[in-house]
Amino acid sequence: MGRVTLQTIADQLGVSRMTVSNAFSRPDQLSSELRDRILSTAHELGYVGPDPTARALARGTAGAVGVLLTDSLRLAFTDQVATEFLGGVVQELGPTGRALTLLTTGTRDGVEPARDVAIDGALIYSCDVASPAREWLLRRKLPVVFVDQDPVPGITSINVDDRSGARAAAQHLVDLGHRRIGILNATVDGPAGIVDDPLGAATAHPQRQRMLGWLDALDAAGISPIVAQASGGAVDDSREAAAALLATKPRPTAVLCFSDVFALGVLRLARVLKLDVPADLSVIGFDDTPAARTSEPALTTVRQDVAAKGRLAATALNAAIDHASSGSPAKVRHHVLPTELVVRETTARPRSPRATRPSP
């Protein structure tokens, strides 16, 4: 079959071209049954809808790029890592005149943002691989760049060296003499609370790479950590998993956390439990957010340059868009940015058994 158009679908169903067009752009004009039939036929024929970029401007450019951010707009405004990343993206986009459009998964009034919004390309940032929005962006064959995702052939990716950073954090605790170590990881779709299979439960790229790094150092030292997972990315999301971790007997003398946000939640819980940090409990985060530097005590963490990651991602996407508009193939690269352990005030040698206070 040749190129599939609106008319192709109309002929297949015996309706007008305008009716098919309305199914994509004016769904309120059709019954839900008819629209479902049209979309189902379009899917079977491999048609994803009218090109929103072409509809936006006759010259074929929308002047905007999309960011698919963990399927949640809330994190774009509440998470320090996400906001710093977006700041780096905007800084690089500024001279190009391209605007930034935040995309989410979900259809409202018949509109699927990742499918219908006019954009020239997209950054897919720390996103569930099963996300429908991610699938729409790939099906549209737009220039895309993966950020904090497993690299795939043919798509430029930007990651940080999560594994080395996590390994350094775990080795720091081992060198201090800790042997009862807990891990508080994040999960996209796995179980929350204590888990028996930490690697099997860590399916997303950063979570898995950090788990591999922690286990690199702990396995070499003969240490079997206690692992808990938390859903979401906010302090409140991690409270239950952190409580389960610190309730284990014997209680861990140190906790490795997926993020500074989780680590700050552990510090808050330690205060509630009247545990001294770092004498009773050492805590290490990941990211080196502003909150990590100003917390009391100041948080030991793994630094990643989030703003640089945003700038590099935007630079790569700008290049991919420019190559696509000129018809020349873009060079695909897989970038890995360095990480660095920053030792502050939340880690110390564990109390000696004689001096250790009983678990509350």
Judge: domain 162-304, CATH 3.40.50.2300.
yes
Percent above pLDDT 70 for the chain: 88
User: Beta 193-194 vs 226-231: how paired, if at all?
Assistant: antiparallel
Position 49 scores a pLDDT of 72
CA dist 74 and 78 (Å) reads: 6
**Which residues in the chain are classed under CATH 1.10.260.40?**
1-50
| CATH class of segment(s) 1-50 | mainly alpha
Q: Give me 212's structure tokens.
A: 């591999």
pTM of the model: 0.80
CATH of domain 52-159+311-338: 3.40.50.2300
Q: Where in the chain is the domain with CATH 3.40.50.2300?
A: 52-159+311-338, 162-304
pLDDT tens series, the chain, 360 aa: 578 888 899 999 999 999 988 888 778 889 999 999 999 999 898 887 766 545 555 456 788 999 997 656 666 677 889 899 999 999 999 898 898 998 877 666 677 888 888 899 999 998 888 888 899 999 999 999 999 999 999 999 999 999 999 999 999 999 999 999 999 998 876 667 888 888 877 778 999 999 999 999 999 999 999 999 987 655 566 889 999 999 999 999 999 999 999 999 999 999 999 999 999 999 999 999 999 999 999 999 999 999 999 999 999 999 999 998 888 888 899 999 999 999 999 999 998 764 444 444
pLDDT mean across residues, the chain: 88
Beta strand ranges found along the chain (DSSP E): 64-69, 99-103, 121-125, 144-147, 156-160, 181-187, 193-194, 226-231, 254-257, 282-284, 301-304, 334-337, 339-342
pLDDT tens for 235-251 read: 566 889 999 999 999 99
What are the angstrom distances between the C-alpha of 158 and each of 173, 198, 316? 29, 25, 9
Task: Give the C-alpha separation, 120 to 323, whole Å.
Answer: 12
- Alpha carbon distance 77, 64 (integer Å): 20
Task: State the DSSP H helix or E strand holding residue 52, giving kind and residue range, or none if neither.
Answer: helix 52-56
